Every structure is written in C-alpha cells, then in structure tokens.
A and B are shown apart, each in its own frame.
Chain A
Amino acid sequence: MNTTAGTFFVLTPYLIAFVLGALLPRQKNAVERFGLGAVAALAVLFVKGMWPGAQADANPAGEWKNLLDVIVFLPLFGAVAVLFLPRQSPALLRKFTYAVLGVDFLVSLGLLSAPMTSGWHFQHVVEWIPSLGIRYHVAVDGLSFWLILLTTLTTPIAVHVSFGSVQTRVKDLCFAYLMLHGAMLGAFVSLDLFLFFVFWELLLVPMIILIGVWGGVEKIKAAYKFFLYTMTGSMLMLAAILYLVYTHDKLAGYPSFDYLALSRIVLPERAAWLCFLGFLAAFAIKVPMFPVHTWLPDAHVQAPTGGSIVLAAILLKLGTYGFVRFCMGMQGGPTWSAAATLGGVAVFGGILYGALVAWKQDDVKRLVAYSSVAHMGFVMLGLFAGNAAGVQGSMLQMLNHGVSTGALFLLVGVIYDRRHTRLARELGGLAKVMPVYAAVFVLVTMSSIGLPGTNGFVGEFMVVMGTFTSQVLGPKHSVSQGVGAAFGVVLAAVYMLSMVQKMFFGPLTNDKNRGLNDLNRRETIALAPLVVLVFVLGFFPNIFLSRMSAATDTLIDRFTESRKAYAGLGPDSDPILQPRRGGPFEQGYPEGPPQTAPTPAGGAEALNTHAGKVGGAP
C-alpha cells in the first residue's frame, strides 16, 4: 500500500468521527458543531491511544487488513448512529439503514478480491487485554467466507421486507437490525474465543428485541424461550473456553484465548469430553439439533418476517459454523468418537423426525421452521461424515438453507401481510388469484426439497454421498445413515407438497382469498436475488465450492491430526500442547509475553520454561 493511501486510512477514523460529531446533533450552530466534531475526533484519538500497538499481519500481498473491521464495525457504529437520528422521521431512518447495509454489502464484496487459498485472509490482530491473552483477532478462510457474504446479502433483504410490514418503532427496528448484523458478522470472523463469545452473546440482544417487540401474540414467551435455551448453551461453552484458556496457561506459560493457540491443546479423555460437550451444547442448541430444537418453532412463529429470515438464514448457521470451527477444529478426538452417535441423532431426530413433525403442522410458518430442523440435520450429518464431500456439502447446504428457507419465510410473510393468518386451512386455491406468487413459491419449494438443478440438490447430494463413504462414521453406520438421510428426500416432498397443495391448488373456497394482490414491487425486489441464487447454486456450485475447498481440506487435516493426537494420549495423561504446524493457517499465532518466551519456536520449550518458573514459585 502506498503512502498516500496509508495516510488516508490512518486519518479515516478521525474524519468519520469528526463528520458524525458535527452533523448528527440537531439545532446547533456551526461553531458548536465544529466543537462537537473535534471532541468526537479527540475521543477516537483517546481510544486509539489506549489501544496497544498492532502486531504485524501476515496477510498475502494486496489484502487490506482493515477490511473485516470495516465490515463488522460499520453496522455496529451505524447502530449507535441510529440512536442520534430523529424518531419522528422514519424515512430518514430507513434510508440510513439501507445505506449502511448497502455499503456494508459492497465492502464485503471486497472479500472476493482474495483468491481464498489455504490459510487466513484479511487477518487483523490487535492486542486487547494482553494480561489475559485476549486479542482482537479477525480473519476469514473458506469456511467463513461465504457465510459473511450470505449475511451481508440476507440482512438487507430481511430489512427491506420488514420496512414493508413494520410501521411501529422504526428507530428501534433499525437499531436492532444493524446491531444484529454487526454481531453476526463479528461472530463469523472472530478467531479469538473471547471476541467470538462477545459477538455470540451480543447478537442475542437484538434478536430478543426483534421477537419480543414486533412479534406475534405469544412473543414474550417465545423470546424468553429463545434466550434461555441459547444462554444455557453459551454458559457451558464459556466454561469450556475458560478451561481451555486455563490449560493453555498451564502448558505454555501464558494465557491465550486465541483459536490457533487453543487448538494446539490436546486434552485427555475426560477433560476433552467435557470441553467438547460444552461447545456441543452451545452449537447444538443454536443449530438446533434434537432434542433441544423446540425453541425454534416458537421463535419463528412469533418473530416478524424479517426476524425469521435472519434467524433461519444466518443465525442457525452460527451453530453449524461453530461446530466446524471449534468442535472439529479444536476437539477432534471426541468429535470423531461421537460422530456416529450424533450422526444417528441428525438422521433420526433431525431429518426424519423433523420432517414427520413438519408434515402435521397447519401453521405454515411452523412447518417451515420444522423443515429447518430437517435441513439442518443434513448439514450436521455432513459434518459428522468428516470427509471433504460431506463437509463441503454441509457448507454448501448452509448457504442453500439460507437462500431457500429465507425465501420461504419471506413468502410466508407475504401471505401473512395480506391475510393475517398463516393457517393452511384458511388458504387454498391461491394459484388462481396470485399466479406469480404461486410460481415463485413452487420454485422455492422445489429448491427446498432438493430438486436437481436447484441449489438444494447439490448440498444434499454431497452430504448423502459423503455419508455413504464416510470413514469417520464407520462402515456400518455410514451406509445405514446414508440410507436414512436419502429417505429424508421422500418425506421432504411429502410435507412441502402437502403444504403447496393446501395453499395453492384446489378450488378457491374461502371468500377472503378472492381479490388478493399478487407480489408487489418491494417483495419482488427482495425475492429476486434469492431466486437467482437458487439456480446459480444449483448449476454452478463450483463457484462456491472452489473457494472453500482449500479451507475444508485444511480443516479435515486438522480434524484428523487432532484426533490422532487424542488417540495417542492415554486416558489419564496430562494435557499436551501439539507443536505448531506452520503454514498460512498458523499465522497470527499469539507469541506470549516476551519475557517468558523469548524464542517461541515450539510448544515443548514453552512448556519447560513455564514449568521451571512455576516450580520455583511457592
């Protein structure tokens, strides 16, 4: 980067702060505005001065290290800025939110400039609380890459839909969406477990607001349920994280919350299982997996359309993403041992059971919610299969589910806005009055049931093939679970087509349904990108797969090695620290305090240094 641009980026935060400080307050004269702007700029300087210096980053040439910061913090700052906008002018609020999300989407397209080779990209590391080993460490690889783009694409759609149907408390709505958006993005890019946890918890707040304020009749109950379930998992995960940090401190001599540092730890059997279960609890609830899935239908039914879209398209992916990143990447041993069992849960409790329950729902939104349980069962099964086909299929299926289920919730919202009911028995014969709506609905349904040529097929197919050939599940379970998953496609057709049948076909019996308007402009705009993606993902999945294959290969290597190290460790042994592996995936590793680890070449030395030091202490 040349000097001019460098200077520009250094000055940018001050400039932004100055402009915001000067423009946002109302009814002030120019001098006061200038003063406030200066105060804001000084505040930035103050904050920056407190911040310890940044580490050298190991990004491949040409990648701008602040890109992720902008993507994550633009909506967060936007959320704060919304607080200073007048409540009385919803149009301004809406435009501002569109602008922030639009810019964020455009900025996130900058990610496409990187070829997504193996390793971290756009890595940015800043010391945050050095004494506890907490750093601001963000980066993307092929696993999080598409999820970020999915997020930056889906939230604007959800917001766009919400602005059409929600007319009350627009300011709060804008605040909630922006905050949610930033927090979700933050969780996807964090490589520091503390940072991850902060974002993971932060996104609960706006989501609860979304359900609890603009929700349906039982919104408070649903919001509570959502919060308590998620919180329970989070607390168990926090315990697991803290144990890992503590172990790292013991072994390496300094604490670290860093993903790279913690993934070197190999725990003996019992501790490993407890840690694994802590993480699993958080992620399984978020996904959600049987039997902790019952918060999902309640939350979906009560949430407003936009909230449902975000919840289904992105929030659930945090669970699966977390499982890939933290369970498979850090806890290979127990993950491997538990895979066959959990795979059975995913097949019977997710794919088959979810489908059966979905079939009997009369509330269309509840049906789609249960179909999510079934779809996410596919995603989890692919991860448990643990081979490239399965994991890539899962990653793709995450995107597919985001697109298809997001679109389905949007479509359900369309009819809810018109009829204020979601009960299938109240509808019927809609294809006559709303032909375009019916066509799009059938199309998205086909994508949801995995018709080849649409996105749903590629993901499901890769997952099923991965399951059949999985070595992680073992020869017996791989085939039986593959057969079970394949049978899921029959049930998917049963419940989705029954719903389509009830809603659209047959005679138009209910008089309230006569004269309903077809899709309007706003809804068409919101649906268009999703419909396009259905086909792009269906016919050209390689666009997406090619950018994630390097990361999945690395992940599977890491998973296998972590499992080998675990298997080599006796059940009663002490935890050990694996040597650093080098390569681009280990860049940005925390080096520890300089006085204790002058030559941090390998884990064994750090261990000895530390042992000597602690041994001398009383």
Chain B
Amino acid sequence: MQALTSLFPPNDVTLLAFIVLLPLVGAFINGVFGKRLGREAVTLMGLSVIGVAFLMSLGCFLMLHEQQTGEQAARLVWKGWDWFTLDTGFSRVVLTVGFSLDALNGTMALVVTGVGFLIHLYSWKYMEEDPGYYRFFAYLNLFIFSMLVLIFGDSLPVLFVGWEGVGLCSYLLIGFWFDGEQNASAGMKAFITNRIGDFGLLVAMGLLLLSTGSLDWSGIEANRQHLLDGMQIFPNLGWLGLPNGIMVSRATLVGLALFLGCAGKSAQLPLYVWLPDAMAGPTPVSALIHAATMVTAGVYLVCRLSFVFVMSPFVMFVVAVIGAATALFAATIAFAQTDIKKVLAYSTVSQLGYMFLGVGVGAFTAGFFHVITHAFFKACLFLGAGSVIHAMHARIHDNDQSQDMRNMGGLRRYLPYTFVTFLAAWAAIVGFPLTSGFFSKDAILLEAFSSHIATEGRVITGGETLWEWPQATGTVLYAIGLLTAVMTAFYMTRLLIGIFYGDFRGWKIVQKWKEPKHEHGDHHHEHEEPGPSMKGPEPHESPWQMWVPLAILAALSLVAGFLNAHLLQIHWFDEWLEPVFKTARTAVEHKEVAEAPFLVFAVTAFAVGVGVAYWVYQVKKGEPARAFAEGSPGFYKLVRDKWRVDEFYEETFIGGVDLLAVMAVWVDKWIVDGIVARLTAFFTSLAGTVLRYTQTGRVQAYAFTMVLGMGGVGWFFFLPHAAYRRTRDDLGGKYTLTAMPGASYQYRWDENADGKWDGGFGNKTQVAFNLDPDQTKKVRLQVRNAFGLTATRDIVVHRPKPDLSGADPEALKLLEPTGAKGAPRNGQAPNAPKGAAPAPARGGQP
C-alpha cells in the first residue's frame, strides 16, 4: 500500500487513467482485430483487461481507504489534458479531461469492474456459439470503459461522455442480434428515450454554467448559493388571464432537468418504457447493463450532485414521489408477466424506484447501499435466468418460448447450482431477514418515514420562501414502499416457483435423446409447440464459467448486507460515505422513531408476500391466479399489456411528433418552397409576359414614349424645388438646414417664420441654430430659379425631450461617452465652409 501511495500521489493518480484505458484498449483490439484473432484471443483480451481493471480499482480503493480518516474526505485525482474552454464573457471554464475518486465512486468502481468481470466470465460460455463473439466482447469492454468514465468523471461534461457512451453500448448490445426487426427497434427505443433524458442533462449543464459559472463538482459546490436565485419560467400572459410568470429557484430548474436525465437512464416514470424492451439483448447484457450498473447511473448522479438536489425541496419531493410511484407501478406489471426476463426487468425498474425513494428523502447512503446490494442480487438473478434459458435452448430455440416460465418448472432437479444461487438472490430481493436486500431495503423504508428536506431559513433571492413538503409525505411514501415490498416478495416467489418447482413443462424428457440431423432447417421449429408432445433431452447444468460467477454473486447477495447492518449496529458503509454527503445531509431533518415496529413490518411484508405466493402457486398450483384472470379478464389483460403505456405514448407523443413532422414536410414543400420559389417564379414570369406587350417593335411607339419621358424631365427642370437637407444633433441641440443646389437657384430664408423674409434672394444656402429640449422652430425657405418661378417650403424643426424610458440600461451607458465625444465633431460643422455638409453628395431628402 505504501508503494502504491508513493507511486501515485493523490493529486496525480495515473492509475485511474489506466483503469479507464484498459477496457478501451480491449474494445479496440477486439472490435478491429477480433475476427482475425479468434475466440481464445478475444476471450483472453476481454477478460484480462476487466480483471486487471478490477485489481487496479481495488488498489485505488485501498489507497483511498487508507487516506480517509474520520470525516475528512479523501480524493484521488488525475488530470489529463484540457478538453476545451467555455469562455462565456463572465466566466471562463476550462474543461479538463480528468478523473477523481472518492468514497462514492470508489465503491461504485469496484462494483462495475467486479460484477463486470464476473459477467465477462459468464459470457465466455454463454455466447460461445455466436458468430458475433468478438463483436460482443468489444461492445462489452466498451461499455465498461464508458461506465468508468461516467463514474470517474470529475465534471458534468466528462460524466456526460460516459453517460452517452453507455447509452451507445446499450443501443449496440440490445440490437446485438440485429437481423430481428424487434431487437433493432428496441435498441433504438432505448437510445432515443435515453436521449430525452440527456436533453435534460444538457439543459441542466447550461443552467449550472449560467448560475454557478462552473461545471466540475467542486466548482458547483463552491458556488451553489447562486442556485437560489429566482428565474421566471412562465411568459407574461396576464392579458390572457393567466398568471404573469412564475418565479422558481434555479436549483429547482436544474434539479428537475438533472432528474429528467436520471429518469431516462434509470428507467423511472415516465421514461421507464425502454428497459423492459431492452431485454431483447443477450442475457449477460441484461445482467450487466440493464440491472447492475448502467441503470443505476441516475442514482449515482443524484448522489454525486446531492448538494444541488437538496437545495430545492420540491425537486427532492419529485425524486422521492417518482421513485415510490415507479416502484409500485412496475411491481404491478411484474405480476402478470410470464417471460422470466420481463419479470426481472420490471423488478429492476421497481428496485430502481426504491433507490430513488431513498435518495429523494435524503437517505443518500441508504439509497446508494441499495445500488450495491441490488447489483449483486439482480445480476445473480439475471445470470441465473440466463443459465435457465441456456438450458432451455437445448430443445427450444425460439427466444420468446425459451424465456417463458410456462414452459419451465421443476428445473431445480436439473440445474442444482443455478437453483441454489437463484434461491440466494431471491432471498435477498424479497427481504429475507439478514440478507443484503433486507438491510438495504429496510434502511430506505425507515428513512422514507422519518426524513424530510428542511426548508427553514432558505429563501429564493427575491424573498419567496422555498416550497415545503406536505405533512403526510413520509407516511405515504413509507406505505407505498411497504406495499411494494409485499408485492416484490409475491412476484419473485411466483417466478421462483414457476421456474424451479412443480413439474417440467417444456418437453417430454427422453434419456439419450439426440436432435434429428435433418431438422436443422430454419422453419422446423414452428411445427413443434413446447409441451408434452415434444420430446427432448434432459436440461443440463451450465459449465463452470457460468456457475462460478453465479456462486460468487449469490454469496455476495447473502452477506453484503453486513456492511451496513443497522440492526446489528454495524455502520461501516454510512461512515465510509459520510464525508461525501456531508454538505447534503445538513438539509435533511430526521424524526426520532423507534426502529422495532418497522422491523416487524418489514418481516411481515416479506412473510405475507412469500406466503401468499407459496399458497397460490405451490399449494394451489396457480388455481387462484387463473380464477382471478378469468374473473376479470379486462383488468388482467390490461396489466398483462403493461397498462398499455407504450400504446398510449405511441398515440400521443410519438403520434404528435409524427404529425408535426408530416406537417413540416408539407409546409416545406407547399408553403416555404411555394412562396419563396414558385410564387416568385410566377410573378417574374407574369411581369415578363406583361412587359412583352410594350416591346412592339414599332419605332413610332418607342419615339412617342421617349418624347413623353423627355417632356417630363423638362417640366421637372422648369419648376423650382425647395429641397433641403437637415443635420440634427438631438443631444447637443445643434441643427443646420442646407438648401439643395439647382440650376442658377437663389434662396431667401425666414428663420423665425414671422412671415417676413429675412432678406432678398441670395446665395445663402445654410442656416444653423440651437434649440432647447422640446423646443420647436419653424423656418421658411424660398427658392427662385432662372425662369423667375419660386417655390416655398415650411420647415419645422423639433428637438425632442430626452426620453430614455424605453432604452435598455446598457444603451444608456453607451450614450453618455458618445455624447461627449460627439460634441467636437458636431461643433466643427458651423465652422466648416459653406456647403461643406459632411455628406454633400447625398441626394436631396426632404
């Protein structure tokens, strides 16, 4: 440890860069040369980079642990190169490609690389037969790289690189088997839904830059008081009878925008729809990306920017409520799914809701602890499901059928390792006492009841106080959480029983069955429906590469809870993360409550959920559930169709944008092009058609037109024209009038407009005078030409009052020095020779 610390001083931990770089190297080599390298080399490359990255992360973690003493937060920092500079005029932000490690992301890095390594190991055999083996490992390595950038990033833009990078990998891996239309569109759906979240993140970055003038963690934290400034979010619509703008704090806007990003990435209401579809990807991907790591990035971001989130109680309220609502909502859908991966997917959405419920009430440690434990047990569940599907593939090759639990049952006899590990993970998720899930869920529920975000003494600049949480929030959130716990226990038990208990329903097991050779065509599976009529071999247990990861994850699911077992007075995890959340925790208030009743409730919830499910599915063989489905078919179908949210989005949002796009195309073709191109062309050709008639080709007609024109010009010169030019200087009050020249013109003036000419006709072409503000002066000018004809002109000059009410203050400031500077320029005008107006060549202008 000493050696590591001396090699990497805390302000320049190059090791961080290596941890990130290794998976990228793996991705590059596997992606570009993988096809030529062969499977063994690809496996070696893919596994070793992640394994070494895990060891390095462990090293960093230990270094960090050594340096963190008591409440003093330790940080390991690596600064790469200057990425780019945002010079906004009032702040200059140099964005550095740099990483930092503290207790929060140090822990997360262990999970990502550790669980990541196990899943890589698992994929070795799981993907063995796939022709895109090298591509798979390249994507998986790229994912670990992006995820590490996401959690190590020292500023929002660097995080954003990882944030969108994991989105890209998710897109590529969901659509990994891209020749299925469905898989590819699921990938696209995931990417676009995530992009809606990323839009929120972009807006949040813009507002943060505007408010705090920085984008890195420490800079935002240092300047966060500016986030209490108010901002008007509603246009002035008083004339419509609507409110004239709503003032909210910037923290609220930033928090909501950030949370939109988190909701997209972590599949919360209303953006959760992509995650269940994402199960179209290979199962290790579902375990790694769509359960253990990527989807928890939203929770990580809330924890990372906890000091921003707690500045707006409203945002925290939204986070907690959305979390609780998602937890409940997703759990209801999981009730009626039969695809085992779909059940796990909705369970993931539901558990993510738990995490947001936790961080939303200010229980950041509890929420983040659930991230860790969930990573273990959900990865284990998914990999277990993968193992089951792998076994089912022995006879059923259709993806949907091989994942349907109606075709399973009784598998505990054939897949003993898978069964035991699955059972352990099941115990953790349903909250079996003393497992990891029990401790982490219990902590969240307790804090949901007892914590809330304090409002006292904090006001938006401008005087309005912050929004306050309703009184009953804690109770309601707790009730929802508890209800969800019961439901989780129920549907997970249903899943367990459906897969592992009862009789095997997939096919009739025939010892030493061999797949008939001639049946390798593409279409033959359609003839055989899974069921007793089909024959097949005994489902087989997976090779060690697959069950060893399962065993490790299962063990972790059971024991990880003791890192933070409040019941046993173990607070190691709390203390470890204490420095990270120090700032944020000041805004969280606790009620002192007795823990015992909550413990009873939690155990009861577990017992009720499991008990009822056991009764329904094991004792009664699912009879009550069938009766319920037949009793209210409409409701059952609605739940089975996931409350038809996808269809609703399809009709409203997607349909709306689609309509807008169709309209835009129409407008582009007929309005824009119609007016700018077609209409212009029409008028041009119309003018041409009309003008063609004037070109008769008859000389007489041309001559006649010419004579008319010449006559007009002659008449113009025959008449005198009393035209003048005026120069004005409203600020200085100096005005000059200059009569315009003409053929032997003579001028006389009447400067005071008293009706008497000031003199006879002469050559005086200019008068100059000063006016006071708001003074009006009338001047008369008479011109006589060579024919003795005269023309008279009354000229009114008015100096306006300096009315500067409407001018913007910036312009007013500008006016002052210019007025001073402008004076000598205008002062020269009277001294200049007569007729030397600054622009003598300019045409006569009344």
Contact = CB atoms under 8 A, between A and B. Distances in A.
Contact of A615 (B178, B199, B203, B833): B833
Interface stretch (B5-13, B157-165, B628-636, B751-759): B157-165
B202 A540 contact: no
Interface string B357-393: 0000000000000000000000000000000000000
B195 A505 contact: no
A479 B207 contact: yes
A483 interface: yes
Contacts of B673: 294
A43 interface: no
A499 B77 CA distance: 42
Interface stretch (A45-53, A142-150, A152-160, A352-360): A352-360
Interface residues of B, number: 80
Interface residues of A, number: 81
A608 B827 CA distance: 13
A508 interface: yes
Contacts of A565: 818
B133 to A, nearest CB: 14
Find the residue from A431, A446, A453, A508 having the highest chain B CB count within 10 A: A453
A574 B845 CA distance: 13
A432 interface: yes
Contact of A469 (B161, B184, B210, B840): B210
Nearest to B162: A452
Interface string A535-554: 00001111001000100000
Nearest to A472: B89
Nearest to B725: A574
Contact of B727 (A292, A357, A574, A614): A574
B181 A506 contact: yes
B179 interface: yes
A452 B661 contact: no
A508 B677 contact: no
A567 interface: yes
Given A501-B184, A545-B84, A471 B730 contact: no
Interface in A446-465: 446, 451-453, 457-458, 461-462, 464-465
Given A505-B178, A568-B822, A294 B811 contact: no
A616 B185 CA distance: 80
Contact of A294 (B83, B662, B672, B833): B672
B832 A611 contact: yes
A236 to B, nearest CB: 14
B815 A568 contact: yes
Interface in A485-518: 486-487, 489-490, 493-494, 497-498, 501, 504-508
A594 interface: no
B82 interface: yes
Interface string B674-709: 011100000000000000000000000000000000
Given A294-B676, A432-B179, A469-B209, A389 B836 contact: no
Given A432-B179, A464-B202, A574-B727, A292 B833 contact: no
A465 B206 contact: yes
Given A294-B672, A356-B660, A388-B87, A493 B191 contact: yes
Contact of A576 (B91, B730, B825, B834): B825
A292 B668 CA distance: 10
Given A429-B179, A467-B206, A574-B727, A567 B814 contact: yes
A290 interface: yes
Q: Is the interface of A mostly helix, strand, loop or mixed?
A: helix
Contacts of A392: 84-85, 87
A572 B726 CA distance: 9
Contacts of A461: 157, 202, 205
A356 B83 contact: no
Contact of A250 (B161, B191, B839): B839
B818 A294 contact: no
A275 to B, nearest CB: 15
Contact of A356 (B661, B728, B835): B661
B676 A490 contact: no
Contacts of B231: 479
Contacts of A545: 84-85
B161 A452 contact: yes
Given A356-B661, A360-B665, A506-B179, A388 B206 contact: no
B168 interface: yes
A387 interface: yes
A388 B88 contact: yes
Nearest to A290: B672
B175 interface: yes
Interface string B79-102: 001111111111100000100000
Contact of B661 (A295, A359, A387, A506): A359
Contacts of A359: 661
A479 B668 CA distance: 27
B750 interface: no
A47 B717 CA distance: 48
Given A461-B157, A479-B207, A570-B729, A389 B661 contact: no
B188 A451 contact: no
B665 A615 contact: no
A392 B94 CA distance: 14
Contacts of A470: 88
Interface in B192-219: 192, 195-196, 198-199, 202-203, 205-207, 209-210
A540 B83 CA distance: 6
B44 interface: no
A568 B826 CA distance: 14
B600 interface: no
Nearest to A396: B84
B157 A452 contact: yes
A294 B677 contact: yes
B202 A612 contact: no
Interface string B814-833: 11011101100100100011
Contacts of B815: 567-568
B81 A612 contact: no
Contacts of B821: 568
Given A250-B839, A294-B676, A567 B811 contact: yes
B188 A497 contact: yes
A405 B160 CA distance: 23
B731 interface: yes
A133 interface: no
A471 B88 CA distance: 9
B242 interface: no
B559 interface: no
A389 B88 contact: yes
Given A567-B811, A615-B833, A356 B202 contact: no
A479 B233 CA distance: 10
Given A446-B168, A469-B88, A615-B832, A506 B839 contact: no
12 contacts: A360-B665, A457-B161, A466-B86, A469-B91, A479-B231, A489-B198, A494-B192, A498-B188, A501-B185, A506-B180, A506-B181, A568-B821
Interface of A: 225, 250-251, 290-295, 353, 356-357, 359-361, 387-389, 392, 429, 431-432, 446, 451-453, 457-458, 461-462, 464-471, 478-479, 482-483, 486-487, 489-490, 493-494, 497-498, 501, 504-508, 539-542, 545, 549, 564-565, 567-570, 572-576, 604, 607-608, 611-612, 614-616
Given A357-B661, A431-B179, 20 more contacts: A353-B668, A360-B661, A361-B665, A452-B160, A453-B165, A468-B206, A469-B89, A469-B91, A469-B210, A470-B88, A479-B207, A486-B202, A494-B192, A497-B192, A506-B180, A539-B83, A567-B811, A568-B814, A611-B836, A615-B834
Interface of B: 81-91, 97, 157, 160-161, 163-165, 168, 171, 175, 178-181, 183-185, 188, 191-192, 195-196, 198-199, 202-203, 205-207, 209-210, 231, 657, 660-662, 664-665, 668, 672-673, 675-677, 727-731, 811, 814-815, 817-819, 821-822, 825, 828, 832-836, 838-842
- Top 6 nearest A-B pairs (CB, nearest first) are A568-B818, A468-B206, A615-B836, A505-B184, A388-B87, A469-B88
